Structure 1
Amino acid sequence: MAFEQTVQVPGDDRVFTLSQQLKKYTLRDLGFKETNAGGFSLERPLDPAAGLAGSIKLRVQVNKNLDGFKMSTVNPSGTGNVNIFTNGNHEVLVEQYGYQIDNLIERQVIAVQTK
């Protein structure tokens, strides 16, 4: 899957883009890990009761030029996408997802695309 300019997480009606003010140090401050290819990757658990290893996660990846990204919600092993908005435990997952997305917007990593 290639890095995109705009991303929509399945089930979320918002479309996200990278912020124009995005800086590498902001990504590091937020816990993004630098990949071998020079990009940045972040995984955050969405179910606090399940622990880190057993939780559905929000995964955000940004390329090294900071001009493309991927964002998805993945299963605990990280191998498949999950639609948290239709999950049986969706209230907790959606609440945590919203918190993580709001934090990324507030820190100017991503922005909601206006129509």
Structure 2
Amino acid sequence: MEFTKSVRIPGDTVTYYISPDIKKYALLDLGFEQTKRGNFEYKGSLDTDNPFKPVAKLRILVNADLTGFKMETLSGNEFRKINIFKQKRSAEFVEQYHYILAEMLKRQVLMTKD
């Protein structure tokens, strides 16, 4: 999967775009870690019952020059993509997903076009 300017998670109605105002320090403040290739990776639990052994995770990878990103929802072991909107605990997962992304929008890492 290559870096793109916009991503829509399967099941979601909102498309997220990389913000032109994105800053490296905002990424680090939000919990992104810099990879060996210089990209920035965020892995967050969507499971509020057990955040240390989650059933679902959100993964966001921003490229080193801050012009593109990848975003996906994964199983807890990160081996497969999952649709959090069709899970048994979808209400909980979706609420946590939107909470995390609201912080990304607030810090101008991502944006939406309404």
Is TM-score (shorter-chain normalized) higher than 0.5?
Answer: yes
Distance 1:69 1:54 in 2: 23
Q: Give the distance between the partners of 2:84 and 2:52, measured in 1 at CA.
A: 16
**Amino acid in the other structure paired with 1:42:** Y
Match of 1:17 in 2: 17
1:49 maps to 49
- TM-score normalised by L of structure 1: 0.94
Aligned residues: 114
Query: TM-score, normalising length from structure 2?
Result: 0.95
Distance in 1, matches of 2:30 and 2:87, equals 27
1:1-115 equivalent positions in 2, closer than 5 A: 1-114=1-114
**Contact 2:39–2:62 under 8 Å retained in 1:** yes
- 1:79 is displaced (CA, Å) by 1.5
Distance 1:86 1:99 in 2: 18
Aligned residue type for 1:101: L
Q: Find the aligned partners of 2:54 and 2:45 in 1 and give their Cα distance.
A: 9
Which residue identity is paired with 1:46? Answer: L
8 Å CA contact 1:40–1:63 kept in 2: the answer is yes
Alpha-carbon displacement from aligned partner over 1:75-111 (angstroms, at most 9, x marks no partner): 0011211101111111111110110111110111000
1:55 deviates by 2.8
